[in-house]
Amino acid sequence: MTKLTVAALQLALNADIETNIGAVSDLVEEAAGRGAQVILPPELFEGPYFCKVEEEALFATARPVYEHPCVLAMQKLAASLKVAIPTSFFEQDGQQYYNSLAMIGPEGELMGVYRKSHIPDGPGYEEKYYFRPGNTGFKTWDLYGTRIGVGICWDQWYPECARAMALMGAQLLFYPTAIGSEPYDATLDTRHMWRRAMQGHSVSNCMPVIAANRIGVEDGQAFYGHSFITDEWGELVERFDGGETGVLVSTVDLALAAKHRAGMGFFRDRRPDLYGRLSEDR
């Protein structure tokens, strides 16, 4: 396949999981109706972003992948619409808990699970209380004759994550997200640097990036949206601002992106023999 149509969803979420699943499902259907083949909802769309507090009762909301309501609902929807839906969810695996993503294919099949590798820990984003660091390694997925890579939120700030997925053959990078205001510093507005970081991954790997964020105010914490899709040059071809609910859709010319990627020489001119320092834990 030389072209792929992708979508990013942006919406506010509340405390009722069934309402959230319904709202996401409506947007998935809209995206599919506009021709989207891979449709990306935001991170942890099952409910409010709960990681701003440390509350042990919230562990009870996690489920194994084969039992999680969001995964089951998106599997049914994907099979009906013949689309792929990278689905973020709070995963329980025995005694362990992860911030995970179920890759759901266009027949509704569970293609596998990616567990978030980089886990933040700071005011308003206290994820280390809830989630173990992922043990899956980075993952890529074969869909529609191409290969995609998917990171989760904090992963998107790390150039190593994007480059690793590109080296694994990814031709597009997807990032479901939950990010907004910084409770410790009301003057810090990260929305533009958030975009720029991922646009940099797009430029340095010469491939499109798709990011989906939530919106709305949740217990005083404002989530700023700004979901977007880039082309292989890092240009914003589709984007939302802070308060919009809806669907971004763009058709990617994979053959043209591959041509540019080869021509730029980023992968030809790599010097892994010089990069040992990157893997040192100090």
Give me the active site residues, please: 43, 116, 153
CA distance 91 to 113: 10
CA distance 88 to 164: 20
- Do 44 and 100 form a contact (C-beta atoms < 8 A)? no
Tokens of 10: 């942006």
Closest among 2, 32, 10, 1 to 210, alpha carbons compared = 10
Strand partners, 109: none
Residue keyed to tokens 């939120």 = 153
- Do 227 and 10 form a contact (C-beta atoms < 8 A)? yes
CB neighbour list of residue 172: distance below 8 Å, 6 or more residues apart: 4, 6, 38, 146, 148, 149, 207, 208, 209, 210, 252, 254
- Do 130 and 164 form a contact (C-beta atoms < 8 A)? no
